[in-house]
Amino acid sequence: MEWEPVIGLEIHVQLKTKSKIFSGASTAYGAPPNTQACAIDLGMPGVLPVLNEAAVRMAVKFGLAVEAEITPRSVFARKNYFYPDLPKGYQISQYELPVVGKGHLMIHLDGREKRIGITRAHLEEDAGKSLHEDFQGMTGIDLNRAGTPLLEIVSEPDLRSPQEAVAYMKKLHQLVVYLGICDGNMQEGSFRCDANVSVRPKGEEAFGTRAEIKNVNSFRFVERAIGYEIERQIELLESGGAVVQETRLYDADKDETRPMRTKEEANDYRYFPDPDLLPLVISGEFIEQVRRELPELPEAKYHRFLDQYGLKPYDAEVLTASQALADYFEEVVKRSGCDAKLCANWVMVELSGALNKAGLDITQSPVSAANLAGLLKRIADDTISGKIAKQVFELIWESGKDADTLIEEKGLKQITDSGEIEKIIDQVIADNPKQLEQYLGGKDKLFGFFVGQVMKATGGKANPQQVNQLLKAKLEARR
């Protein structure tokens, strides 16, 4: 039988506010344990939470970016459960009325576009952290993270393969970073994913029973965990078993998922509206204000790059991956006045390759957009060849000087004077009588050898087209 996977993701996005969602304590990462949790985060009696407006603004920003309905009056609820890292005994979340309603996100995969539904996104507070590593036979509790604002984004079960799930996750990651509402740091847990997975016989309408894989925090692991889970469920069903609705854990070392607990029902949490917090009322005016703050979104930028610069879809995708990279590329085009494809190539191949190798981000590039533009101008006007340009690029990288200065300093200007090139060709021919004889005897391959010698004699500076032309003429004249 052919099986079809059905996948829905719940993604927790840590919002980039300075203080917590219901208190003034700092959200900065990496402080010594338990130095950034105040009485409110600890759930001390007699304290009251106060909602952080910045978190609401960010949630609305997200909602507008996925064309979702913003709930005019949403409600905070208590989700009750016991865990050592949750001293209050409940988490403040949103349940029946989330701040962001139905929206959607477009993903691109193998040249196809697909619209993925977003069911909802709600605001909630994070819990603390249990630490096991430094404590033998004990568990340490760090409550610094308690009260950190999260936006939980729930997708429709619209995803049909591990690859689609990862494409969606990457798109969402890109979007929240573009919007400036999340730092996107997955190692620090700023962007975490729970994956719901089920399978059904292909063609069947009804969904199968799902398992939820908790907290997978890298794109690669999400793909592997879902892939493993699909295989596990298919094998189980084909051998006559049934999938149990449960929460599972992905073990990256063993590349498998394991049961963690049977799935809790919503009523296990005894959700009820938090009596300490007023409903969250969002005015049309507030929404319009946030709308005006929206940057150009990645999807719009992608389409503009296709239209305005005539780029290939893959190139447009890569160059719009981050706002900083897109800005850099556009500045290079603008300043150089060169063909966008030449600019795209240099940014994507030469520059990105060098940045990767050095472990640097585009914002840390030693070669500024202005300097790369300056270099491309000199390729375009034939001052230097593409090959020499690579050399100049390295020099710019090392020195921070501009292309013109370096070309001058190092005498790298291309030799286009045909008289000069001819002189060098004559010398090369005179210096290599054996090769000349073989060439004239029919060994055409040796043409490349002569080109190489001429280029070597000029330090790579001779105009390659001219060398080819003149050399051909000179050699033919001797046949």
DSSP 58-78: HHHHHHHHTTPPBPSEE-EEE
Should residue 243 be labelled a site residue for ligand ADP when binding is judged by CB under 6 A? no
Should residue 7 be labelled a site residue for ligand ADP when binding is judged by CB under 6 A? yes
Q: Which is nearer to ligand ADP, 5 or 149 (CB)?
A: 5
Q: How far apart are CA 197 and CA 212, in angstroms?
A: 6
Nearest approach, Cβ of residue 15 and ligand ADP (Å): 20
Paired tokens of 474: 């000179």
Q: Tell me how far CA of residue 310 lies from CA of 31, 306, 315, 339, 352, in angstroms.
A: 47, 5, 10, 10, 20
Specify the stretch interacting with ligand ADP by CB under 6 A; choose among 1-9, 96-104, 217-225, 282-290. Answer: 1-9
Nearest approach, Cβ of residue 66 and ligand ADP (Å): 14
Q: Which is nearer to ligand ADP, 25 or 197 (CB)?
A: 197
| C-beta of residue 155 within 8 angstroms of C-beta of residue 8 | yes
Should residue 6 be labelled a site residue for ligand ADP when binding is judged by CB under 6 A? yes
Q: Which is nearer to ligand ADP, 154 or 311 (CB)?
A: 154
Nearest approach, Cβ of residue 154 and ligand ADP (Å): 5
- Sheet of 90-94, strand order: 90-94, 76-80, 272-273
**Among the listed residues 16, 88, 145, 210, the single contact to ligand ADP using CB under 6 A:** 210
Residue in 39, 326, 307, 282 with CA at minimum distance from that of residue 177: 326
Nearest approach, Cβ of residue 10 and ligand ADP (Å): 5
Residues 160-199: x where in contact with ligand ADP by CB under 6 A, - otherwise, as a string: ------------------------------------xxx-
Q: What are the two backbone dihedrals, phi and then psi, of residue 442, each rounded to the nearest 5 degrees?
A: 115, 0
* Residue given tokens 């996948």 in the structure block: 7
Count of beta carbons in the 10 Å neighbourhood of residue 104: 14
Q: Say which DSSP state 157 is in.
A: S
| C-beta of residue 102 within 8 angstroms of C-beta of residue 160 | no
Q: Which is nearer to ligand ADP, 4 or 394 (CB)?
A: 4
For residue 277, give every residue at least 6 positions away whose Cβ sits within 8 Å of its Cβ, in sequence order, or none: 22, 49, 51, 76, 92
Nearest approach, Cβ of residue 163 and ligand ADP (Å): 16
Should residue 77 be labelled a site residue for ligand ADP when binding is judged by CB under 6 A? no
Q: How far apart are CA 210 and CA 263, in angstroms?
A: 10
Q: Which is nearer to ligand ADP, 156 or 276 (CB)?
A: 156
Should residue 9 be labelled a site residue for ligand ADP when binding is judged by CB under 6 A? yes
Residues 78-117: x where in contact with ligand ADP by CB under 6 A, - otherwise, as a string: ----------------------------------------
Q: Assign residue 73 a region (left: φ > 0; alpha: ψ between -120 and 50; beta: otherwise).
A: beta
Residues 167-198 as b or e (16 or more Cβ within 10 Å = b): bbbebbbbbbbbbebbebeeeebbbbbbbbbb
Nearest approach, Cβ of residue 52 and ligand ADP (Å): 25
Q: Which is nearer to ligand ADP, 269 or 447 (CB)?
A: 269
Which residues in the 319-348 window bind ligand ADP by CB under 6 A? none
Nearest approach, Cβ of residue 211 and ligand ADP (Å): 9
Q: Which is nearer to ligand ADP, 224 or 301 (CB)?
A: 224
Q: Which is nearer to ligand ADP, 219 or 447 (CB)?
A: 219
Which residues in the 133-162 window bind ligand ADP by CB under 6 A? 154-157
Should residue 272 be labelled a site residue for ligand ADP when binding is judged by CB under 6 A? no
Specify the stretch interacting with ligand ADP by CB under 6 A; choose among 2-10, 107-115, 321-329, 396-404. Answer: 2-10
Q: Which residue is nearest to ligand ADP (CB)?
A: 8
Paired tokens of 441: 């005897």
Q: Which helix or strand (DSSP H or E) is residue 56 part of?
A: helix 53-65
Interface with ligand ADP (CB under 6 A): 6-10, 154-157, 196-198, 207, 210
